[in-house]
Amino acid sequence: MNQKIETLLSQMTLEEKVAQMLQLPYNAAMDFEEALDWARKGAGSFLNVIGEPAKRLQEAACNSRLGIPLVFGVDAVRGHSLNENATIFPTQLACACSWDKEIAREMGKVTAREVATDGLHWTFSPLLCLARDPRWGRVNETFGEDPYLVGELAAATIEGYQGEDLSDAESILACAKHYIAYGEATGARDAYDSEVTYRKVREVFLPPFQKAADAGCATMMTAYGSIDGTPVGIDEHIMKDILREELGFDGFTVTDWKNVTSLVTKQMIAADEEEAAILSAKGGNDMIMASPEFYEAAIHAVRSGKLEEAVIDNAVRHILTIKLRMGLFEHPAKEGKAGCIGCSEHQNAALNAARRSITLLKNNGVLPLSANQKIALIGKNADDIKAQYGDWTFFTHPTPKPDHIAPRPYTTLKEGMEMLSDQVTYTFGCGPLHSERDDLAAAVAAARKADVIVYAVGDEISQVGEKKDRADLALSGRQTELFRELRALGKPIVTVLIASKPLAIPEEAEGSDALIIAFNGGAHGGQAAAEVLFGKEEPTGRLPISFPYHSGQVPVYYNHYFGWHGKSAGGYCEGKYCDLPQDPLFTFGEGLGYTDFAYSNLTFDPATFTAQVTVTNTGKRKGTETAQVYFRDLVSSVLTPMKQLIAYKQITLAPGESQRVTFTLEKMDFSLVNRKEERVVEPGAFRLMVGHSSKDADLLSVDFTL
């Protein structure tokens, strides 16, 4: 393989090599003739081009002087979701509620098969950023707030996309993004500076990327943002020493959209395009997304001696290595499986993921509903497929089409409930935005005639995504006003949140008899939520992210440090805002079923790092529990999290059944990153905690020394 690449490299002109580094946005920024011209000049890649145009561009590339095939990238981030006929999965955040690696792997496999069937090769997924500030517009794209869970689900997704071998017909390239600390931008301002140190990067943000590298992820995308004032993509320490040497990443890197251009136009780091090109190439960016001016600039920089050609060679080498490993030269288009796009097998996988994503946070006994109750279903989001889909489908990308009619199959919550009961009356009420259709009085009148109210609240696509960070996480529009009116009727009320992320809903949580979090469940999210409401399916979701009481309370992620000035509680000192409770409204790991589980007899053997606990189903229904393992370093040279997830297991138990659950841990699970930025285990006292959620009250604990 090396020989073939070196031979190819030696035949390439400087122009062809620089062109090979380009990834071009034909849809968004150039017409087709210009795109064809680039393909003939030897461009490396296009993004978000689907169907006939992709085929024609590939033909042009294969007929160019050296015939190096294009690699087509696409944002197939929740299924092949820019193709309107494809299977639309729940968002990553919704999938993460399953805490189930098989769900993630299956989503990866199905997506890969559909992308490959469209002849494409590469998805810009999974997203490994941590959602530690829910104001961020892209929380829906994450697997939540915790580095361990994010890493586990990301690695499984990557394995799903890439399969056994990149050259398999149904394997596509994964792309771990956005490297690194992008989700941590100050104030949750998308693509802004992250005020974190390298130590913090290593402690919190790097571990998921390590798992991605270990899973053999073929590509990684450089973040938009900067860390402490240095744009990530020009930071050779981050891009080379850490990514290549330490993590052992051996694929190619791709910038995010116009990162090179932004060095001149937004971040004001480079005086002109040539300087931006030099910084980016030296930084270790192999493929340059959507900055075509890199072409002239980089060529000029090499010709004038400001940039060594070897830097370009190295980038091209990384790209060609992957193209060769994919078998692109023999099979320029992936083939997949004819007829599989949106097929029933794939729809079932999406339905299964949606079922596993539904998270029940409160239930005073009103759930499950029965088919003979008169139900008033209220709220725009109960019957709005756009809100149910959320971000990154054909509605929003590559160009926004908000008025597009979504093809079937899909099921809204209204349709899902109507499948299970003929006693459901739907009223619009109101939605996340003020609208002329708002009619609170009609909703209240309908509710008055019902035995139970199901109220769907949330957000909608204009409130989600890039450039849509929110300062205020409270329910928008007239949703809270309507909640108050419904509650005043004194009838049982079940609130269902169909939203892109945790919203601040303390009043709705407190005032509802039951609360279900459905996030953006994809094509079958409505059916899945309805099945849980009626008890056809057991709720098994657990929160991968904490819910704040109020926007001003963030961050509320569970794995924070000690040391906030305040009252002493539970034997340690932890602060709080004087006008809000100490804990979040709901915290990481929480989620109920229709049965209960008890934990007993926790043991830990420090010699073998083996923990054991007995879990018993103490309720009347079969159920699935997610047993969660956390640790705390009781005394350490730097501040460490109050608790940190290091393992979990899912077990299904019949009523009355018990199981002894074993966790085989490793010494490094108990590590920290010290002041010298080394990951070490410091000898001393530790606490191991095992139980139902990250809440202290849900955990058994055992102390030990290492």
Positions in the binding site for ligand BGC (CB under 6 A): 47-48, 75, 124, 177, 256-257, 466
Rounded to the nearest whole angstrom, what is the least distance from the CB of residue 221 to ligand BGC in the complex?
A: 6
- On whether the CB atoms of residues 167 and 150 are closer than 8 A, the answer is no
Q: Which is nearer to ligand BGC, 259 or 412 (CB)?
A: 259
Rounded to the nearest whole angstrom, what is the least distance from the CB of residue 107 to ligand BGC in the complex?
A: 17
Q: Which is nearer to ligand BGC, 254 or 447 (CB)?
A: 254
Task: Spell out the residues 6+ positions from residue 553 whose beta carbon is closer than 8 angstroms to its own.
Answer: 504, 577, 580, 584
Task: Spell out the residues 6+ positions from residue 647 whose beta carbon is closer than 8 angstroms to its own.
Answer: 148, 611, 628, 629, 663, 665, 669
Instruction: Give the residue at shortest CB distance from ligand BGC.
Output: 124
HEC secondary structure over 28-50: HHCCHHHHHHHHHHCCCEEECCC
Q: Rounded CA gap, 121 and 170, in Å?
A: 9
3-state secondary structure of 625: strand
Task: Return phi, psi of residue 361, to 5°.
Answer: -105, -20
Cα 628-633-636 angle, rounded to 5 deg:
160
Q: Which is nearer to ligand BGC, 126 or 521 (CB)?
A: 126
Q: Rounded CA gap, 184 and 18, in Å?
A: 32
Q: Rounded CA gap, 572 and 581, in Å?
A: 16
Rounded to the nearest whole angstrom, what is the least distance from the CB of residue 75 to ligand BGC in the complex?
A: 5
Rounded to the nearest whole angstrom, what is the least distance from the CB of residue 610 to ligand BGC in the complex?
A: 40
- On whether the CB atoms of residues 78 and 392 are closer than 8 A, the answer is yes
Q: Which is nearer to ligand BGC, 263 or 556 (CB)?
A: 263
Amino acid at residue number 636:
S
Rounded to the nearest whole angstrom, what is the least distance from the CB of residue 184 to ligand BGC in the complex?
A: 15
Task: Spell out the residues 6+ positions from residue 522 whose beta carbon is closer than 8 angstroms to its own.
Answer: 78, 79, 88, 89, 90, 91, 94, 350, 353, 354, 388, 389
Q: Which is nearer to ligand BGC, 48 or 142 (CB)?
A: 48
Q: Which is nearer to ligand BGC, 49 or 430 (CB)?
A: 49
- On whether the CB atoms of residues 209 and 220 are closer than 8 A, the answer is yes
Q: Rounded CA gap, 633 and 639, in Å?
A: 9
Rounded to the nearest whole angstrom, what is the least distance from the CB of residue 277 to ligand BGC in the complex?
A: 20
Burial of 284 (0-12, 13-18, 19+ CB in 10 A): buried
Cα 491 off chain centre by: 37
Rounded to the nearest whole angstrom, what is the least distance from the CB of residue 246 to ligand BGC in the complex?
A: 24
Q: Rounded CA gap, 43 and 20, in Å?
A: 5
Rounded to the nearest whole angstrom, what is the least distance from the CB of residue 178 to ligand BGC in the complex?
A: 6
Q: Which is nearer to ligand BGC, 124 or 410 (CB)?
A: 124
Q: Which is nearer to ligand BGC, 75 or 146 (CB)?
A: 75
Q: Which is nearer to ligand BGC, 136 or 428 (CB)?
A: 136
Rounded to the nearest whole angstrom, what is the least distance from the CB of residue 537 to ligand BGC in the complex?
A: 32
Cα 77-185-546 angle, rounded to 5 deg:
70
Q: Which is nearer to ligand BGC, 125 or 693 (CB)?
A: 125
Q: Which is nearer to ligand BGC, 466 or 657 (CB)?
A: 466
Rounded to the nearest whole angstrom, what is the least distance from the CB of residue 176 to ligand BGC in the complex?
A: 11
How many alpha carbons fall within 13 Å on the CB side of residue 629?
23
Any idea which residue has 């003929």 for tokens?
A: 422
Nearest to 539 by CA among 285, 341, 357, 371: 357
Task: Spell out the residues 6+ positions from residue 2 whose beta carbon is closer than 8 angstroms to its own.
Answer: none
What burial letters (b/e) apply to 387-396, b meaning 16+ CB within 10 Å?
Answer: bbbbbbbbbb
Rounded to the nearest whole angstrom, what is the least distance from the CB of residue 125 to ligand BGC in the complex?
A: 8
Rounded to the nearest whole angstrom, what is the least distance from the CB of residue 185 to ligand BGC in the complex?
A: 12
Nearest to 166 by CA among 178, 154, 155, 158: 158
Q: Which is nearer to ligand BGC, 467 or 565 (CB)?
A: 467
Task: Spell out the residues 6+ positions from residue 342 whose beta carbon is closer than 8 angstroms to its own.
Answer: 85, 86, 87, 114, 409
Q: Which is nearer to ligand BGC, 122 or 426 (CB)?
A: 122
Q: What is the largest CA-CA distance in the chain?
A: 80
Q: Which is nearer to ligand BGC, 47 or 218 (CB)?
A: 47
Rounded to the nearest whole angstrom, what is the least distance from the CB of residue 351 to ligand BGC in the complex?
A: 26
HEC secondary structure over 371-410: CCCCEEEECHHHHCHHHHHCCCCCCCCCCCCCCCCCCCCC
Residues 25-28: contacts with CB within 8 Å, 24+ apart?
25/257, 25/289, 25/290, 26/53, 26/57, 27/398, 27/399, 28/290, 28/398, 28/399
Q: Which is nearer to ligand BGC, 257 or 609 (CB)?
A: 257
Rounded to the nearest whole angstrom, what is the least distance from the CB of residue 101 to ligand BGC in the complex?
A: 23
Q: Which is nearer to ligand BGC, 256 or 438 (CB)?
A: 256
Rounded to the nearest whole angstrom, what is the least distance from the CB of residue 613 to ligand BGC in the complex?
A: 39
Rounded to the nearest whole angstrom, what is the least distance from the CB of residue 259 to ligand BGC in the complex?
A: 10
- On whether the CB atoms of residues 255 and 291 are closer than 8 A, the answer is yes
